[in-house]
Structure 1
């Protein structure tokens, strides 16, 4: 099933869940204009078909002592498939790396790194990121403020 195969009820369900993942099925049914049983069936189908891949809590990183955000451009000295696979596997073990994206452009990867402060960021950069397989060069951009930080929704 493709996105174009979803009707307005399926799209409404995804939209609401993208914003409020803990909403009850009864409340969700009321919001999308269906009864509870059809919404339950649609949820099961959307999960089975891979439109809904999971449910999670949104955690406040500041309360966890991880308020400093830095974006790191990473340039590799080797971009053959084996080198990319080695980098991809190694990056998984660094908990401070919140996101890692392979980029088509002047650099190879863009990392979103979250730490308590700049001193901890420097430690992570020196001990972890710079020692990842095939890293040739990094450039860091420190976020001063998060203006919008949202997960993807259908709307």
Structure 2
């Protein structure tokens, strides 16, 4: 199958890879009553068609260097004339993990991880509010993460 869509067999192969991407093609094939070559070929096709990417995902504590990182959502109000440029500047900040222009309450939404409230205040006052076009920043701290399924993969532009 090669129409840019995942069929039922592809989905089942992905279920195995989502649990453990290091699982062997042979193990997947045995559990699905397929040949190893079939599994290998399907994985190779999905990779070559950019349908999947097998990669390591580091623990957020390792990525940020914080023992207990706090996730913060930054709702940014910006001058509408230059919102694209403002959003690009915000996305270039090294502590920003996600940035998008929005419709609705905020013009830009950014997500970051911080180690302390003081660090958040510093980032907002020194880094974000000094960017041309930023008018106001609303912050929301995630106090308890209920669900985050990193297996959904990257958010595509």
Could you say what secondary structure the match of 2:80 adopts?
Answer: coil
Q: In 2, are the aligned partners of 1:68 and 1:118 still within 8 Å (CA)?
A: no
> In structure 2, what is the equivalent of residue 135 of structure 1?
134
Q: Is 1:57 aligned to 2:57, yes or no?
A: yes
Q: In 2, are the aligned partners of 1:77 and 1:135 still within 8 Å (CA)?
A: yes
Give the gaps of 5 or more residues in structure 2: none
Task: Trace 1:64-79 onto structure 2 (pairs within 5 A).
Answer: 64-65=65-66, 67-79=69-81
Q: In 2, are the aligned partners of 1:76 and 1:134 still within 8 Å (CA)?
A: yes
Q: Is 1:34 aligned to 2:34, yes or no?
A: yes
Q: State the aligned residue count.
A: 149
> In structure 1, what is the equivalent of residue 112 of structure 2?
113
Counterpart Cα distance in 1 of 2:44 and 2:95: 34
CA distance 1:94–1:30, change in 2 (3 Å): farther
Could you say what secondary structure the match of 1:61 adopts?
Answer: helix
Give the gaps of 5 or more residues in structure 1: none
Task: Trace 1:90-109 onto structure 2 (pairs within 5 A).
Answer: 90-109=89-108
CA distance 1:98–1:33, change in 2 (3 Å): farther
What TM-score do you get using the length of structure 2 for normalisation?
0.79
> In structure 1, what is the equivalent of residue 20 of structure 2?
20
Counterpart Cα distance in 2 of 1:129 and 1:57: 28
Q: Please list every run of at least 4 consecutive aligned residues from structure 1 whose deviation after the TM superposition is greater than 6 angstroms.
A: none
